[in-house]
Amino acid sequence: MPYIDQYFANLYDLINCLTRAVDLVTPKVSSHHQQVAYMALNIADAMRISVDQKRTLVLAALLHDIGSLSLDDNMDFFEEEPLTINNHAFIGARLFSSSPIMKDVAEVIKFHHIPWNNGEGKSFKGEEVPLLSHILHLSDRVAIRVNRDESVISQIRPIKEYTKSARNTVFEPELVDTFLDICDEEALWLDLVYRPTIFTGQNDLSLQSINLTLDETVDFTKILSQIIDFRSRFTATHSAGVAAVALKLAELSGFSEGECKMMSIAGNLHDIGKLAIPREILEKTDALEPAEYDIIKSHTFYTYHLLAPISKFESIAQWAAYHHEKLNGRGYPFHIKSDNLSLGARIMAVADIFTAITEDRPYRKGMPKERAETVLGHMVENKSISQSIVSLLVDNYAIISCLRKESEDRAAAEYSKIISI
């Protein structure tokens, strides 16, 4: 039995998992979030702002461009700031604003591209823009100017010139002055490029102490499931459906209350590795070429390695990442056989297949009951999936189907609300 106590997961562990996943989306700008967080923390330290504020700033920096995954722009924000640049900031803020523990972080993310504009940037459409958003803005624009193919030390001077020229127009003037004060230290820039992940006990933020209860972990991973799903409108509600079906099957299988919540977490995160798969492949409606299918096969490998390092996620990582394994050992990518496929992993495999074949996609309707049962029956016959789980599903078809649909309808409504610009 997995051990469950009052606190379950660490918030920083979960955010770190997400930033590692985002690095897989756009290797070209990998570590961008870590670099911006690193620079923001250095500016904040020089300004001597409170530890609480620094923590909010660093968490916002680690997540600031996450909203762009729901758009087509894939985080390629270079030197110019187009008029539409606020869209991803607003989407990112909406994703996190539903969580009480992330409310302040969401506020900072929301305004991270508001220019200072001679003081007009103190507010935006009647809302106060936090100073932390201005620190994030400056850190982001500076990090993005660093050309990774050239010596970073040679770039210090032109970056200083740029921030001076943008003092008071783009950036808050006192922030620019603070930034210029710390700029001459070459090690700051070498750290920025070569080892921007600095949050392991070398600062006063105590990020490792922000713990979440099991319920809070379920809620937080629901936000992560939206980040995973909203990347493609074709599967914008898939994880929500899988989580609902897996939860019900776990209840029916006699899992404890805590284990059922862990199953929801695993359902929310089962496709987190899909962040590593190019959008063109995810959105292809024709049959995949063999080479494309090979790429798809890697997604559960990434799911496993993103989740396994999280403390107390040992079972969750397996339940989530083994959803394409088959009892006969012919699944992918680990080829685990029945002996080593736990009940949780078997449930997730059935929940994933059932949801995928019965949910509507923009390019096709979901299968009706009889066809879905036939497909699942064939898979039981060739020893791909568990007979007992499929029987449980068939015996409770109406209720499970209804839970799947309700969960996906709710996710669709949230999708429209969050991505509306």
Tokens of 231: 């990347």
140 binds Fe ion (CB under 5 A): yes
- Bridge partner list, 213: 7
65 binds Fe ion (CB under 5 A): yes
Please answer whether residues 271 and 238 qualify as being in contact, where contact means their C-beta atoms are separated by less than 8 angstroms. Answer: yes
Query: Which H or E run includes 128?
Result: strand 127-128
Distance CA 61, CA 414 (A): 24
Residue 31 CB, shortest distance to Fe ion, in Å, is 11
Residue 238 CB, shortest distance to Fe ion, in Å, is 9
Identify the burial level of 250 via C-beta atoms within 10 angstroms of its C-beta, where 0-12 means exposed, 13-18 middle and 19 or more buried.
buried
Residue 257 CB, shortest distance to Fe ion, in Å, is 26
Tokens 């394994």 — which residue? 325
Tokens of 366: 């979901």
Size of the site for Fe ion (CB under 5 A): 3
Residue nearer to Fe ion on the CB measure, 261 or 270: 270
Binding mask 265-294 for Fe ion (x = CB under 5 A): ------x-----------------------
408 binds Fe ion (CB under 5 A): no
Residue nearer to Fe ion on the CB measure, 138 or 250: 138
Residue nearer to Fe ion on the CB measure, 64 or 261: 64
Residue nearer to Fe ion on the CB measure, 140 or 359: 140
Binding mask 240-269 for Fe ion (x = CB under 5 A): ------------------------------
- Bridge partner list, 171: 167
Contacts (Cβ under 8 Å, ≥6 apart) of 386:
327, 346, 347, 349, 350, 380
Residue nearer to Fe ion on the CB measure, 65 or 414: 65
Residue 43 CB, shortest distance to Fe ion, in Å, is 15
191 binds Fe ion (CB under 5 A): no
- Bridge partner list, 167: 171
Residue 195 CB, shortest distance to Fe ion, in Å, is 19
Total length of the chain: 421
Residue nearer to Fe ion on the CB measure, 214 or 389: 389
For 10, phi then psi, to 5°, come to -95, 130
Residues in contact with Fe ion by the rule CB under 5 A: 65, 140, 271
